[in-house]
């Protein structure tokens, strides 16, 4: 299965990774960049390597293999990760037996250039090559490369090693067939494919068995999930039937794949949380067309109206790109106006970054970096004001928070998410990660709700403890940041 660079370009091999003397467990350090899909892929890799006898260590200085799972979505993400990878070379210089591997989207995107930039690299493994990682790490001629995309690989049979905390991120479909003109994902992650419903349900049951209370179903266009005649709405309904699951979310759906079945499931299933991330990208029809997003603004607007009618109070977030080639001031203002009209709860805002291999790569850029920066700043300021208004509307209301752990600030506080995916910070007396806590919202910043516990609705063990509700919550110094 594995293609090797010396097959490709005749490079001489360097030292292969060798088994440790005395049968000591081999230690791996794994660092992850990018989206939740990458985080979930790293959990998969950890699970795979653990079954092959590897132990995950928190410090690269202790590791026999150092792996970096990378993101290629924008140029600065890619450059940051390559810079970090070069830094990690120091470990190989001091301990020549150490193997350095680059995983993920940069592996597929930069496969040719990586060997020039990092000739000392031992492994280059793309998102569809993880099944081979244990074998690749056993050694061979350097560098070992597996960057082929596989139309069938879903890893449905492999158990991920889930990160601690009450929430599990579970991949239900991989790849993307949309080919938006700006996006590198279809090239780095390949074609769309869905896990069978039963495999998803098994992962959900297993996550619940580990104490998870919330599952987030993941896919590049997650609502394109379909298998054996079932659609994404059917999947949501089935997941909601798994005993022990208390909260279900999903990200990221594509507007063109939103069907009645999905909306019905969101409206009808109490466990499907009232939050929808619905990427817009631009509110100008000519820009949407140039991006080949597959919808026009009116269609998007009507869809959102329908969703808000069916699920009153639903929180909605979005993604926007500024400075796509050809975006005029008027196009940009259309996006600004639409953000004002729609009042998203929050938004991830990006400057367009030309990615080699995409269709937009060939279109000449018309908005310079300084102007992209100005447009971005304008949208950030606008969205921050809207987010703050939306948060303030919640003051005085009750909410339910799933506690994730201690908050950075203020001391003694914990943080978690409300049902509509807002970050809440509350005094932590008697409260533990995994508790579902009824709170009253007392204050708000653009990023955080400040809450007071009213009582613990239920704990992980299902034992209803009552919280001590004595301390007033204070305003944290720093906001919880979004992407």
> What residues line the site for ligand SF4 (CB under 6 A)?
176, 178-180, 183, 185-186, 220-221, 254
CB of 332 to ligand SF4, least distance (A): 19
Nearer Cβ to ligand 5AD (88/185): 185
List Cβ neighbours of 312 (8 Å cut-off, separation of 6 or more). none
Which residue, judged by CB position, is nearest to ligand 5AD in the bound state? 319
Which of ligand 5AD, ligand SF4, none has residue 179 at its interface (CB below 5 to 8 Å by kind)? ligand SF4
Instruction: Confirm if 414 and 406 have CB atoms less than 8 A apart.
Output: yes
Chain-centroid distance, C-alpha 472: 34
List Cβ neighbours of 216 (8 Å cut-off, separation of 6 or more). 36, 167, 168, 169, 170, 248, 249, 250, 251
| Residue 116 CB neighbour total at 10 angstroms | 8
Which of ligand 5AD, ligand SF4, none has residue 178 at its interface (CB below 5 to 8 Å by kind)? ligand SF4
Which of ligand 5AD, ligand SF4, none has residue 242 at its interface (CB below 5 to 8 Å by kind)? none
Helix axes 329-342, 369-393, angle to 10 degrees: 10
Which of ligand SF4, ligand 5AD, none has residue 186 at its interface (CB below 5 to 8 Å by kind)? ligand SF4
Which of ligand SF4, ligand 5AD, none has residue 30 at its interface (CB below 5 to 8 Å by kind)? none
Nearer Cβ to ligand 5AD (16/294): 294
From residue 93, alpha-carbon distances to 98, 122, 240, 399 in Å are: 9, 13, 51, 53
Which of ligand 5AD, ligand SF4, none has residue 250 at its interface (CB below 5 to 8 Å by kind)? none
Nearer Cβ to ligand 5AD (169/352): 352
Which of ligand SF4, ligand 5AD, none has residue 254 at its interface (CB below 5 to 8 Å by kind)? ligand SF4
CB of 11 to ligand 5AD, least distance (A): 31
Provide the binding-site residues for ligand 5AD, judged by CB under 6 A: 73-74, 182-183, 279, 281, 319, 321, 350, 352-353, 355
Which of ligand SF4, ligand 5AD, none has residue 221 at its interface (CB below 5 to 8 Å by kind)? ligand SF4
Nearer Cβ to ligand SF4 (164/259): 259
Nearer Cβ to ligand SF4 (254/413): 254
CB of 355 to ligand 5AD, least distance (A): 5
CB of 319 to ligand SF4, least distance (A): 8
Nearer Cβ to ligand SF4 (65/176): 176
Nearer Cβ to ligand 5AD (6/319): 319
First CA to last CA distance, the chain: 37
CB of 181 to ligand SF4, least distance (A): 9
Nearer Cβ to ligand SF4 (34/186): 186
From residue 177, alpha-carbon distances to 19, 181, 183, 193, 282 in Å are: 41, 12, 11, 9, 20
CB of 224 to ligand SF4, least distance (A): 9
CA distance 66 to 92: 9
Instruction: Confirm if 294 and 253 have CB atoms less than 8 A apart.
Output: no
Nearer Cβ to ligand SF4 (101/126): 126
Which of ligand SF4, ligand 5AD, none has residue 220 at its interface (CB below 5 to 8 Å by kind)? ligand SF4
CB of 382 to ligand 5AD, least distance (A): 17
Nearer Cβ to ligand 5AD (107/320): 320
From residue 256, alpha-carbon distances to 152, 220, 295, 313, 320 in Å are: 23, 13, 7, 22, 16
CB of 140 to ligand 5AD, least distance (A): 34
Instruction: Confirm if 346 and 317 have CB atoms less than 8 A apart.
Output: yes
């Amino acid at each position: 299965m594995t293609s090797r660079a010396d097959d490709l370009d005749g490079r001489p091999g360097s030292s292969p990774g060798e088994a440790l003397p005395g049968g000591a467990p081999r230690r791996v350090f794994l660092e992850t960049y990018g989206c939740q899909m990458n985080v979930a892929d790293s959990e998969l890799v950890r699970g795979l390597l653990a079954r092959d006898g590897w132990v995950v260590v928190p410090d690269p200085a202790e590791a026999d293999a150092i792996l970096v799972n990378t993101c290629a979505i924008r140029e600065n993400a890619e450059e940051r990760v390559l810079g970090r990878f070069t830094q990690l070379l120091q470990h190989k210089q001091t301990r020549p037996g150490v193997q350095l591997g680059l995983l993920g989207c940069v592996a597929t995107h930069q496969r040719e250039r990586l060997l020039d930039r990092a000739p000392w690299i031992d492994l280059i493994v793309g998102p569809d090559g993880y099944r081979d990682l244990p074998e690749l790490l056993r050694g061979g001629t350097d560098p070992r490369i597996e960057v082929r995309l596989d139309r069938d690989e879903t890893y449905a049979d492999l158990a991920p090693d889930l990160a601690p905390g009450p929430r599990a991120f579970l991949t239900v479909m991989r790849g993307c067939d949309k080919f938006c003109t700006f996006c590198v994902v279809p090239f780095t992650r390949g074609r769309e494919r869905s896990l069978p419903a039963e495999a998803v349900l098994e992962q959900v049951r297993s996550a619940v068995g580990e104490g998870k209370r919330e599952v987030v179903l993941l896919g590049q266009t997650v609502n394109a999930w379909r298998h054996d005649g079932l659609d994404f709405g059917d999947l949501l309904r089935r997941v909601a039937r798994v005993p022990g699951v208390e909260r279900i979310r999903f990200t990221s759906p594509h507007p063109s794949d939103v069907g009645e079945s999905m909306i019905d499931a969101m409206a009808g299933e109490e466990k499907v949380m009232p939050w929808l991330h619905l990427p817009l990208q631009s509110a100008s029809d000519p820009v949407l067309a140039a991006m080949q997003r597959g919808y026009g603004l009116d269609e998007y607007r009507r869809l959102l109206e329908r969703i808000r009618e069916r699920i009153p109070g639903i929180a909605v977030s979005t993604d926007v790109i500024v400075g796509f080639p050809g975006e005029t001031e008027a196009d940009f203002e259309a996006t600004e106006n639409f953000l004002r009209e729609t009042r998203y709860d929050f938004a991830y805002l990006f400057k367009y970054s030309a990615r080699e291999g995409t269709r937009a790569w060939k279109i000449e850029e018309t908005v310079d970096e300084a102007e992209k920066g100005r447009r971005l700043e304008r949208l950030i300021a606008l969205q921050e004001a809207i987010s703050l208004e939306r948060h303030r509307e919640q003051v005085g209301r009750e909410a339910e928070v799933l506690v994730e752990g201690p908050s950075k600030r203020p001391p003694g506080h914990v943080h978690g998410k409300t049902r509509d995916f807002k970050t809440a910070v509350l005094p932590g007396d008697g409260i533990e990660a995994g508790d579902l806590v009824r709170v009253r919202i007392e204050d708000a910043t653009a990023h955080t709700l400040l809450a007071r516990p009213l009582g613990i609705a239920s704990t992980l063990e299902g034992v209803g403890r009552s919280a001590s509700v004595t301390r007033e919550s204070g305003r944290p110094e720093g906001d919880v940041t979004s992407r």
